Amino acid sequence: MAKKLFVGNLSWKMTNEDLYSVFAEFGEIEEAVVAIDKLSGRSKGFGFVTYVEDASAASAIEALNGAEIEGRQIAVNEALPPKPREERRSFRNDRY
């Protein structure tokens, strides 16, 4: 079963390929993605790596959590499922 990892505090210059190459030594990767801001096109400073096997993900967490990559100390842990979004408020102003 695949396991997704959250990788935080990435360098702003880190690309998907860079992220993949850092994590590839621990096992087969399904996907490595750096989050990109839609408006600026710049990295948000975090990303996700999905491993094919859970054991590979555990090895990567153990080895890379707190490691320095491109001058920054990264945080690596198991990704949590996204929280459900709250219902969006309408543009109508109910206070008046």
The answer, yes or no, to whether residue 96 has pLDDT greater than 70, is no
Residue 96 domain-assigned (yes or no): no
We report the CATH number of the domain holding residue 59 as 3.30.70.330
95 confidence band (pLDDT: 50, 70, 90):
low
Residue 34 CB-half CA count within 13 A: 22
What are the tens digits of pLDDT across the range 2-46?
A: 899 999 999 999 999 999 999 999 999 999 999 999 999 999 999
User: What's the pLDDT at 57?
Assistant: 97
Domain count, the chain: 1
Residue 86 domain-assigned (yes or no): no
User: What's the pLDDT at 1?
Assistant: 76
Could you list the residue range(s) of the whole structural domain that residue 37 is in?
3-78
What are the tens digits of pLDDT across the range 40-90?
A: 999 999 999 999 999 999 999 999 999 999 999 999 999 998 888 877 665
Residue 90 domain-assigned (yes or no): no
d(CA 2, CA 88): 32
Residue 42 domain-assigned (yes or no): yes
Residue 92 domain-assigned (yes or no): no
Angle at 56 between CA 70 and CA 18, to 5 degrees: 25
d(CA 24, CA 86): 36
52's tokens: 């094919």
Residue 51 domain-assigned (yes or no): yes
Residue 23 domain-assigned (yes or no): yes
The answer, yes or no, to whether residue 94 has pLDDT greater than 60, is no
